[in-house]
Amino acid sequence: MDITEALTWLDAHMNLERMRERPPLPSLDQMRSLSAMLGEPQHDLDAIHITGTNGKGSVARLATSLMVSAGVSVGTYTSPHLHVINERIALNGRSVDDAALVDVLAVVRRAESAAGCSPSWFEVVTAAAYRLFSDVAVEAAVVEVGIAGRWDATNVLDAQVAVATTVDVDHVEFLGADPLDAAAEKAGIVTPGGVLVLGVTDDALAQPFLDAGARTVLRAGWDWAVESQDLAVGGWRATIRTPLDQYVDVVLPFHGRHQVTNLAMALTAVEALLGTPLTPDVVAEAVATTTLPARLEVVGHQPLTIIDGAHNAQALAGLRQTLDEEFSYGRRLLVVGQIGREPKMLVDALAIGPGTDDLVVVTEPRSPRAVPADDLAAAVKAAGVGVAVAPNAATAMDMAADVAGVGDLVLVAGSLYLAAEAREHTGRLEV
């Protein structure tokens, strides 16, 4: 089986990420059947399992870098991918190559046939990641939840450390519009008797996590905290307190004050898994070598051009705060597209309106679940801003750049799918 055949077989499975009408929350029955036929590889892993509305991917990448810099072999599973499926499964921070992916998918294919089960696309990839990590005997695994937690395919794992970053309204088709319901579903990843690193600061939203049975709960502001953070050239300088140490004057080459909090969570989680603090040199090397693609990623100057995958109200509000706090520019020209969300949410979260934006270019990301460009354009027009419609991200970026002056900002936001297309247009394919 070559990579083309492997991906053709994989793509024949139901893929919730690409379905316009999503079914109810699935059970774990298919995933459990497949895992059993594979020999329960997830039980071989010492793992950090990460849930939350925003920040999961950043915490996963930072935790991975911290352990790799400390000499620990790490398997990392994240989703979605930006450009190629290989990105989802990484060994020591590097995406698996085609040969390794083909081999492990072939193993899962045989297990699926033997088990007589019908897993989804995401369940197959999750099972492949767990089997590969077990086969190469990684010393630690970092696993990002796909959606919510309790019924997510990743949750056949009994992780020693669970991380909950933030809770807000998102994926309402699965979780509803009440953030407390979302919190209850996300709390389902906590392993009774394990460790919980809790970044949720709202007491009501924190309660389902506190009730989930963790042996040790490490809470933001109590057991770990960002003690100081100041703007630095191209990022932040911060001092972080964790249960085992204090990390002083750490320089982060990332935009967004929330990334300092993400690093604090990653440090706390890694300490909890390894049972030891990290040296300043390890932390410095890890932060310096971590990349955060499509997260306030500056891809051009004159005009300043930024790509960000923010796609829900909380993330878009954080993006807007960062732009106000860290960047100087003249006009703001937006390139936006959405997947399965209300257009007015994006308009409100980015404060699109007269006096803020001279032009918004809307387009449809490459997904069956893309919000029609005309619907998004109507919401922007209703906000009193000039709007243009483009057939794709590349054309939209060129249209915005043609209008922008050297001191202006071209911002791409609204969807990770759109961010991926924008990165491809700028020639950035590495992650």
Q: By percentage, how much of the chain surpasses pLDDT 90? A: 88
- CA-CA distance, 359 to 400, in Å (whole number)? 8
Residue 23 pLDDT: 60
Task: Indicate the pLDDT class of residue 173, thresholds 50, 70 and 90.
Answer: low
Side chain identity at residue 177, one-letter code: A
Give the pLDDT band of residue 176 (cuts 50, 70, 90).
low
Q: Label residue 357 by pLDDT band (50, 70, 90).
A: confident
When pLDDT is cut at 50, 70 and 90, the band that residue 123 belongs to is very high
Cα(236)–Cα(229) distance, integer angstroms: 7
- For residue 269, the model assigns a pLDDT of 98
Q: Is the pLDDT of residue 38 over 60?
A: yes
pLDDT at site 356: 73
Res 19 pLDDT > 70: no
DSSP state letter for 163:
E
Mean pLDDT computed over 369-398: 96
Q: Output b/e per residue, 145-179; b: 16+ Cβ within 10 A.
A: bbbbbbbbbbbbbebbbbbbbbbbbbbeebbeeeb
Give bridge partners of residue 405 from the DSSP assignment. none
Q: How confident is the model at residue 254 (pLDDT cuts 50, 70, 90)?
A: very high
Other beta carbons less than 10 A from residue 406's beta carbon? 9
Q: Round to whole Å and give the CA distance between 297 and 311.
A: 15
For the chain, helix, strand, coil in percent to 5 are 40, 20, 40
pLDDT tens digits along 226-241: 999 999 999 999 999 9
Can you tell me the distance from the alpha carbon of 362 to that of 280, in angstroms, rounded to the nearest whole number? 45
What band does 21 get if pLDDT is binned at 50, 70 and 90?
A: low
User: Does the pLDDT value for residue 78 go beyond 80?
Assistant: yes
pLDDT at 177: 64
Domains and CATH numbers, the chain: 3-289 (3.40.1190.10), 297-425 (3.90.190.20)
pLDDT at 148: 87
Taking all residues of the chain, what is their mean pLDDT, rounded to a whole number?
Answer: 94
Q: What is the mean pLDDT of the segment spanning 316-337? A: 95
Instruction: Enumerate the H helices of 70-213 as residue ranges.
Output: 98-115, 121-135, 172-175, 179-186, 203-210
- In one-letter notation, the amino acid at residue 114 is A
For residue 358, pLDDT beyond 90: no
Q: How far apart are CA 253 and CA 292, in angstroms?
A: 10
Average pLDDT over residues 37-41: 98
